[in-house]
A = this chain, B = another copy of it.
């Protein structure tokens, strides 16, 4: 999926905060982020915004694997466990898809496979094509 690699490389915010694409296939994506001092909030756990951004990146990649530009409409995220060090992984999978709307579940795990957050995203599929 060369167009996905290219698409992912253009994401400047992901780059800025150290998010990397691990793999992508139709309707799926996996990303990771090694926790650094820049990801911490005022109580020295990983900022909700950093966890969200990792999951959102995996969501965007999975939603764009079909080749249409897809944009997020709505996301619901639950924060299950605070974390301060190690590496976070986000795994996105497609739950449903129709011509206009697609939905994805994203799980955020740490390197011990503990669930850190769950994220449900709904995307609007535009007609403009990526590849």
A11 to B48, CA, bound (A): 11
Chain A: interface residue total (CB-CB under 8 A): 55
Is residue A53 within 8 Å, beta carbon to beta carbon, of the partner chain? yes
Interface presence of A17 (CB below 8 A): yes
Provided the pairs A56-B47, A100-B100, A124-B100 are in contact, do residues A42 and B8 lie with their beta carbons within 8 angstroms?
yes
Set of chain B residues within 8 Å of A15, measured between Cβ atoms: 38
Residues of B within 8 A of A83 (CB): none
Partner of A79, one of B72, B79, B118: B72
A24 to chain B, nearest CB (A): 13
Q: Is the CB of A50 within 8 A of B13?
A: yes
